[in-house]
Amino acid sequence: MSSGFRLLTTPLLLWSFLSLSLFSSASIINHAAGSRLLLRAVNSGGDQPDFALDLNATNFDAVLKDTPATFAIVEFFAHWCPACRNYKPQYEKVARLFNGANAVHPGIILMTRVDCANKINTNLCDKFSISHYPTLFWGPPSKFVGGSWNGKDEKSKIVSIEDGRTSDRLLKWINTQLGSSYKLEDEKYENDELFQSNFSDPGQIARAVYDVEEATSLAFDIILENKMIKQETRATLIKFMQLMTAHHPSRRCRRGSADILVNFDDLYPSNILSPSEKNNTQHGGLTKFEICGKEVPRGYWMFCRGSKNGTRGFSCGLWVLLHSLSVRVENEESQMAFTSICDFIHKFFACEECSQHFYNMCSRVSTPFTTTRDFVLWLWTAHNEVNERLKSTEALYSTGDPKFPKSIWPSRHLCPECYTTARDGDWDREEVYKFLGRYYGQMLVSLYMEKEKSLFGQAQMKIRAVSDDLIQSTNALVVPVGAAVGIAVASCLFGALACFWRSQQKNRKYFHKPQLLKIV
């Protein structure tokens, strides 16, 4: 076969190989998705539950890829090893602080273990050069995905934990790495540095993307549990889900919302008449769908975590969702987004007094929004109005969060340029708009972006390795002409179809035309 034809077929082969690899990886992740449920309920039965998460070769990459934790610890052990069995209670004491829905310090470290005595994990343990048990590694979760360790790469973000043979020593090692002061005796809502940094550190908003997923999932659980989907509320829910499908900051929530919308007419037909039909539909409808994927809800809050039970949490996550939607809509969508959010809160937010107050604020708007800027600033003003109202009520009944008192936002520390004078309330609205766009836009999804960048870099390295193998091979791979042409044609058709579908979705982003909000 001529060298020219080899040059033609090699890119096609690479494309085919990459497509098959991605399809295979997606299948593995979907197969392993159920294992991620353990993040929020780790062996809940029994008197002494396991808090560390057991991983194996089939779910190792998937779990570490999707965890919201900033760092991960992986313990490689063998179930037959006496030292490993003795070490397990020590490891569990530390894992109790960080893993599961009732974690003392959730979302910071994911503590996992891999049994190298299980044959399915042989290759995985070899990749990390495991020569003795137990062996502990520390690093960002994304660095473990498809990664390896041989102890020679000084630039590796994966670090071997050499001094963690007891729970005290392991926690001391963690505190040294994080500059924290966690203790084995810590209880939930106490001694948590996270509470001291939420307001002062603008980067904390990156953790809220997981709270937005949590709030989205919880909101739809409430809707289903209270059977709130009725003939008169059906259109409102569809409009809000269309907004989320287009602009939710979480890709998996966008995907889940789209999946529900595709099936919505079958699940909740518009011609529901009899109460019996309605009840049957309510019970068998959306319950089989996970709007933000199988791993959500996780059972805990990160950015929106209160310093005591019953504070922040869902309400905080919902506000972040609304702000993140507002900064993502286009000018021509601003009025539709406004009416969708107002109607959704009015009809689906179960706190009657809160929903009515919010809708009253909506009703004071007499002129339709024509720009994203005006809509973003209105929602910001509304949020501060709510804070002012709740501040006095919480002070009267002592129901507020002492570490997160209601206040006018953003603070001078977060956005000094937002203030025109030394007096609170003198705003530079243009600077406020820019800040909100950054804060709820790029900063909110920065953790997602960092993970995707890391994983993309790893994928690129694998592709280059495959390409080098093909080019350097002395035995050139021969592909029939028909197969090569077929791959090329399929590639072109797929690209054309994707472009067509994208244009159609953009033109049909909303089924309902914008309307002025009815004054109540």
| pLDDT > 50? residue 281 | no
3-state helix, strand and coil shares in percent for the chain, rounded to the nearest 5: 55, 5, 35
| pLDDT > 80? residue 477 | no
The predicted pLDDT at position 151 comes to 78
| pLDDT > 80? residue 279 | no
3-state DSSP assignment of residue 54: strand
Handedness of CA 172, 173, 179, 184 (dihedral sign): negative
How many whole angstroms separate alpha carbon 301 and alpha carbon 299?
A: 7
Euclidean distance between the first and the last CA atom of the chain, given in angstroms as a whole number: 77
The predicted pLDDT at position 512 comes to 46
| pLDDT > 60? residue 277 | no
Amino acid letter for position 437: G
The predicted pLDDT at position 306 comes to 84
- The overall average pLDDT reported for the chain is 78
How many whole angstroms separate alpha carbon 488 and alpha carbon 490?
A: 5
| pLDDT > 70? residue 26 | no
Judge contact between 181 and 193, C-beta under 8 A. yes
Residue 500, phi-psi category: left (phi > 0), alpha (psi -120 to 50), beta (remainder) = alpha
Q: What share of the chain in percent tops pLDDT 90? A: 46
Question: If pLDDT is split at 50, 70 and 90, which confidence band does 387 have?
Answer: very high
The closest of 226, 178, 514 to 351, measured between CA atoms, is: 226
| pLDDT > 70? residue 377 | yes
> Among all residues, which ones are annotated catalytic?
81, 84
Task: Give the residue-averaged pLDDT of 300-316.
Answer: 85
Query: 267 or 95: whose pLDDT is higher?
Result: 95
The closest of 180, 214, 76 to 132, measured between CA atoms, is: 76
The predicted pLDDT at position 201 comes to 62
| pLDDT > 70? residue 158 | yes
Query: 470 or 356: whose pLDDT is higher?
Result: 356
Least confident of 69-73, 191-195, 492-496: 191-195
Least confident of 234-238, 318-322, 442-446, 489-493: 489-493
Question: If pLDDT is split at 50, 70 and 90, which confidence band does 173 have?
Answer: very high
The closest of 420, 414, 422 to 438, measured between CA atoms, is: 414
The predicted pLDDT at position 4 comes to 47
Query: 13 or 311: whose pLDDT is higher?
Result: 311
Q: Are strands 109-115 and 71-77 parallel, antiparallel or unpaired?
A: parallel
The predicted pLDDT at position 125 comes to 94
Residue 179, phi-psi category: left (phi > 0), alpha (psi -120 to 50), beta (remainder) = left
The predicted pLDDT at position 101 comes to 77
The DSSP letter of residue 513 is P
The predicted pLDDT at position 492 comes to 56
- Most confidently modeled range among 220-229, 242-251, 405-414: 242-251
Amino acid letter for position 223: I
| pLDDT > 80? residue 56 | yes
Question: If pLDDT is split at 50, 70 and 90, which confidence band does 423 have?
Answer: confident
The predicted pLDDT at position 9 comes to 45
| pLDDT > 80? residue 471 | no
Query: 436 or 19: whose pLDDT is higher?
Result: 436
pTM score, two decimals?
0.69
The predicted pLDDT at position 318 comes to 96
Judge contact between 185 and 162, C-beta under 8 A. no
How many whole angstroms separate alpha carbon 62 and alpha carbon 112?
A: 13
Q: Are strands 53-55 and 135-139 parallel, antiparallel or unpaired?
A: unpaired
pLDDT 10s digits, 333-346:
999 999 999 999 99
What CA dihedral angle connects 62, 69, 102 and 53, to 10 degrees?
A: 40
